[in-house]
Structure 1
């Protein structure tokens, strides 16, 4: 069972053994080394692997059942539970943070970097400037990474700090601090393979498929507000797009690269 990290002898007295066993199993499940539907090793195998008593293993498994990581099956081996996927509606300008908050789900955010940077050509054309701000974040639910977001912002938001955005909504900060909020824009979706950096942050395998969302938004004044690319774990996030047959199929998509005067 090389996919299960053994208990560190140095930590044996610092935390209950069953919690350490549970944490090792949780990590293997979260990193897909124990994928949904796969059987959990037997109690005997876990006792031998972790060098703990059967009572410790049973406590660990009970904790994982309570937390929704494992399904118990009468007369059969317990298995890894199917993972709940979080839904993101792409037909409104609400941020992922706001959408999950409405559902009662808490989204955690860590800031990887927030700094002044030269804008890529496509983003520079959108803002009408060559300099701006680069913000990179990892979003988590229950301490499990679900997305990595790279956002390009105009330099008038330079008074923001990384501390302002830890576990916070960027859109809420822009509204409260600058009275600006997204009103319209464009979303593009595609499936892309994970590279080494994304695999490391999202706890997936290199080349695993990710759902990539690239978007640019204008605010309530028609000014360019935000350009971002977000990579979502395909096993944790679903994109929802409603269809309405009553709409004219010949509606022309607005040119969101128009010049802002």
Structure 2
């Protein structure tokens, strides 16, 4: 039997992508990424068994050590469980859920779903933000903060945030490690109130792909926005790239159609008007 025939007979799901043996990177990383893609696309559902090491050897035409390196990489990402006697089983991929209309509180949102987020600070350094950030914060004297948020060992968000150095002169990587940025702002006497946000789908570049353990060009959800305090001071301008296993919850409300006002609404307005007129008359009589 030819290698192609063996691959077709043993292949459990979908079509196996060929390996690029000329400059495509380590073979074990290519195999890991192919299986990762099948898991994310649900071609391999949680609880299902991966092909055995022998089957993967035949499918990809590689040695057992290469296959084991690929499976070890998937295990390190928390995507599979390697069980003695059962082989490798697809694990349930954790999903990060967050509310679009809620500013901050990502740790609390994750905790509400029985999850725990941790934060790793990559860098904190003086850096001028893009023009949109300058407009939002009203200053070029800012810290640029880069952080990665994790669910367990799985990276789920990469954050790039600018904050005014005049407000927060003592921010350091050590201070921000596994800490709430908004909580630290409150500790410095500033109360975050919220601000406009927008979400859009973007393609991951190579740096983002490496940080979030996804394939280059894979779609990510980018959340952009500004957080202000009650007085309108810009406290942060941020970009947050979310991995594909993120769900944004939106509480949508049906608005009253323009030009159509209910009779009950009219009645309440008339009663309110009468009450105000009565109180004004009382005040005028008392002032005479």
Give TM-score scaled by structure 2 length: 0.63
**2:124 matches 1:114:** yes
**2:180 matches 1:173:** no
Question: What is aligned with 2:252?
Answer: 243
Residue number among 219, 226, 231 corresponding to 2:241 in the alignment: 231
How far the C-alpha of 1:50 sits from its partner, in A, is 4.3
Separation (CA, whole Å) in 1 of partners of 2:182 and 2:256 = 29
Structure 2 residue runs without a partner (length 5+): 1-18, 20-25, 58-62, 260-288
Separation (CA, whole Å) in 2 of partners of 1:167 and 1:222 = 27
How far the C-alpha of 1:201 sits from its partner, in A, is 0.6
Separation (CA, whole Å) in 2 of partners of 1:3 and 1:34 = 17
Question: What is aligned with 1:135?
Answer: 145
Q: CA 1:3 to 1:172, structure 2 compared with 1: closer, same or farther past 3 Å?
A: farther
Q: CA 1:121 to 1:139, structure 2 compared with 1: closer, same or farther past 3 Å?
A: same
Q: CA 1:248 to 1:227, structure 2 compared with 1: closer, same or farther past 3 Å?
A: farther
Counterpart secondary structure, 1:32: helix
Counterpart secondary structure, 2:217: coil
CA-to-aligned-CA distance 1:77-97 (integer Å, 9 cap, x gap): 975245232211011223322
Counterpart secondary structure, 2:195: strand
Between Structure 1 and Structure 2, the one with more helix by share is 2
When the two chains are superposed, the root-mean-square deviation of aligned CA atoms in Å is 3.5
Q: Report matched runs for 1:28-39 at 5 Å.
A: 28=32, 32=36, 35=39, 36-38=42-44
How far the C-alpha of 1:68 sits from its partner, in A, is 7.8
Give TM-score scaled by structure 1 length: 0.69
Question: What is aligned with 1:203?
Answer: 213
Name which structure has the greater RCO, CA cutoff 8 Å, separation 6+.
1
Question: What is aligned with 1:161?
Answer: 172
Between Structure 1 and Structure 2, the one with more strand by share is 1
How far the C-alpha of 1:184 sits from its partner, in A, is 2.4
Q: Report matched runs for 1:88-107 at 5 Å.
A: 88-107=98-117
The range that moved more, 204-213 or 214-223, is 214-223
CA-to-aligned-CA distance 1:25-48 (integer Å, 9 cap, x gap): 9xx489825524435122655897
CA radius of gyration, larger in: 2
